[in-house]
Copies of this chain bind each other. A is one copy, B any other.
Amino acid sequence: MRFFSDNAAAVCPQVLDALARVNVVDTAYDGDQWSQSLDARFSELFETQVRALWVPTGTAANSLALAAMCPPYGGVICHAMAHINVDECGAPGFYTHGATLLAGEGEGAKLTPQAIADAVRHIRPDVHQVQPHAVSITNATEYGLSYTPSEVGAIGELARSHGWGLHMDGARFANAVAHLGCAPADVTWRAGVDALSFGFVKNGGMSAEALIFFKTELAEATLMRRKRAGLLFSKGRYLAAQLLAMLDGDLWLANARAANAGARLLAEAAPERLVYPVEANEVFIRLSADEAASLRALGFDFYDWGVGEARLVISWDQSEDAIRPLAEAIARLC
């Protein structure tokens, strides 16, 4: 049974159905009615006027957002463990034309205003050093922690005071919102976020993420960059349809809640093993090599995460019944 990643999960039936529904002739690129409706639909969700662009991957969404905020000679502050820093093969450097990621520290891949200040403390404001132009945070973080609206707000205030942009990598934004129980607006633009990579693929989508600009003037140049990167699909309606299907009836929230619930079930099985509190759909537990081997012998599939730790990820489509055997196996370990 798979617990290694939510990005290996199957696609929601509603998403597949949506593909069939838009399988008619329409205007190419993003001129079709579905693509054209995204701004309005996401504006409604976020309770403010936004620009919403489909893009096929989270890496593309992140990189386009950073390129909109940071010039080639600038820097973006992020956590050392941020996906943009360690798992995107330098994509931000490609899209920004060589901007520098300025790495900060913090438990559970979470930045704080203090951590951000520390990360740039030694930067003199002169032309010899890369100057920060933006901050990027991941919510939920790479270790499954969720930033609360007030935590984001504190970073947003710091960013605004320096004139920096604020980007949120929301590969698991749905899981964070489901955990926080807040309005999507509360943890984004109301807290100072300028652009959000709103992930759907890990949450039941197939090949569409949404890049949301709360600072809407960033969208125009991004449309050019999206085309220039070969990301403007000629049959864009099949991306738009995926996003719309996920928003319909708050499917995105339902899927995220299901995954989060599964993660909590695992967490409750072994609270003393938890490396971090479980605030999304990922569970990091202390696990010896022998223990890991014994779980794998039972058919459970997951990644080691550093020495003596393991990462268990729950996907949108895993029922409690499917998860309980692992929970019980972990509980039995000690």
Contacts and interface: CB of A to CB of B under 8 A. Distances in A.
Interface of A: 2, 5, 7-11, 16, 19-20, 23-28, 55-64, 71-73, 75, 86-91, 93-100, 122, 127-131, 201-202, 206-207, 221, 223-235, 238-239
Given A89-B128, A89-B130, A7 B234 contact: yes
27 contacts: A7-B235, A8-B25, A8-B234, A11-B23, A19-B206, A56-B207, A56-B230, A62-B230, A64-B230, A71-B221, A73-B89, A73-B94, A86-B129, A88-B227, A89-B128, A89-B224, A90-B100, A91-B228, A93-B93, A93-B98, A94-B98, A97-B98, A98-B98, A127-B227, A201-B233, A201-B234, A206-B235
Contacts of A231: 56-57, 60, 230-231
Given A89-B228, A238-B206, A10 B28 contact: no
A280 to B, nearest CB: 17
B128 A57 contact: no
Contacts of A228: 72-73, 88-91, 93-94
B73 A225 contact: yes
A240 to B, nearest CB: 12
Contacts of A10: 23-25
Contacts of A73: 89-90, 94, 221, 224-225, 228
A233 B206 CA distance: 9
Nearest to A60: B230
A56 to B, nearest CB: 6
* Oligomer copy total: 4
B221 A233 contact: no
Q: What 3 pairs across the A-B complex have the smallest Cβ distances?
A: A60-B230, A93-B98, A7-B234
A88 B224 contact: no
Contacts of A224: 71, 73, 89, 127, 131
Contact of A8 (B27, B55, B91): B27
Contacts of A64: 230
B238 A57 contact: no
A227 B98 contact: no
Given A11-B238, A16-B19, A206-B238, A232 B93 contact: no
Contacts of A24: 10
Contact of A94 (B86, B229, B234): B229
A61 B232 CA distance: 13
Contact of A99 (B20, B60, B90, B229): B90
Contact of A7 (B28, B63, B202): B28
